[in-house]
Amino acid sequence: MKKICLAFFVMLAAVSVAAFRPAMAGDDGNIYAKLLGNTFELQIQALEHLVTTDTPYQENAARHAMGIVSTADLLTDTIDKAELTTATMDKARLKKLNDATWTAANDLSNAVKIWLEGQDKKVVIKAIKNLRVTCDNCHGG
């Protein structure tokens, strides 16, 4: 009986860990969604680089922010068309979480404009932090 209980709790733990990962149908997951995720990541890193380094490319920051907004649009579209396999995250929930990313990306875009108009870069650093929180909603931190 004890063994059965233990097995049950181990299974329960495994299910709740898996619930945090937004895996899509298919053994390799959704390759296109993965590419979009990597696009997010590289665009954010490029922006972080421009904000924290003295480079002649600072004005590109606005277009990286737009790229992040656009990637959020593409991910919403992909969620619409994909079959999901996670038990706790249905399409509606994934779309809602991605909407939060889209909103944070727009806030970031505004923050970049404010920065390029001569304000402190802190506004951009804060907006990037807020954006990353919305990523963690799907990726479990």
109 contributes a contact to ligand HEC by CB under 6 A:
no
Candidates 61, 69, 94, 128: give the one binding ligand HEC (CB under 6 A). 94
CB 101 within 8 A of CB 41: no
Task: Kindly state the smallest distance separating residue 7's Cβ from ligand HEC, in Å.
Answer: 27
Q: Tell me which residue of 132, 106, 134, 139 sits closest to 48, measured CA to CA.
A: 132
98 contributes a contact to ligand HEC by CB under 6 A:
yes
Beta strands in the chain (DSSP E): none
**Where on the chain is the footprint of ligand HEC (CB under 6 A)?**
22-24, 29-30, 33-34, 37-38, 40-41, 44, 94, 97-98, 101, 131, 134-135, 137-139
